[in-house]
Amino acid sequence: MTRITVDIDDELLATAREVLGTETKVATINAALREVARRKQVAEMLAVFDSVEMDYTRSAHAFKYGGGRDLSQLDEKARLEVEAERSATGGREVV
């Protein structure tokens, strides 16, 4: 564990504390760092999934009891949603 002295914006810390539901400054900072690390891991996992070609064309008939949902357009819909979010946020990635 590293011990450091750092100036932190009090308003941002209070907001992070409220959002994260933490009791102390140390807990808030550690929870925020964990969240950033988690987002990085999620982005890496999504990149792996995105690198694999998926075929959902027969998904509506693949499940028992009369079939399932048609997932053939699922990946295209997800890509369009991501593009729309990026357009709405000025190109910033939202995780």
- Give mean pLDDT in consecutive 10-residue pieces for the chain, a chain of 95 residues: 93 96 96 95 90 74 61 79 82 58
Looking at residue 64, its pLDDT comes to 59
Looking at residue 88, its pLDDT comes to 82
- Residue 91: how many other CB atoms lie within 10 Å: 7
Looking at residue 32, its pLDDT comes to 96
- Confirm whether pTM is higher than 0.85: no
Looking at residue 60, its pLDDT comes to 62
3-state helix, strand, coil in the chain (%, to 5): 60, 0, 40
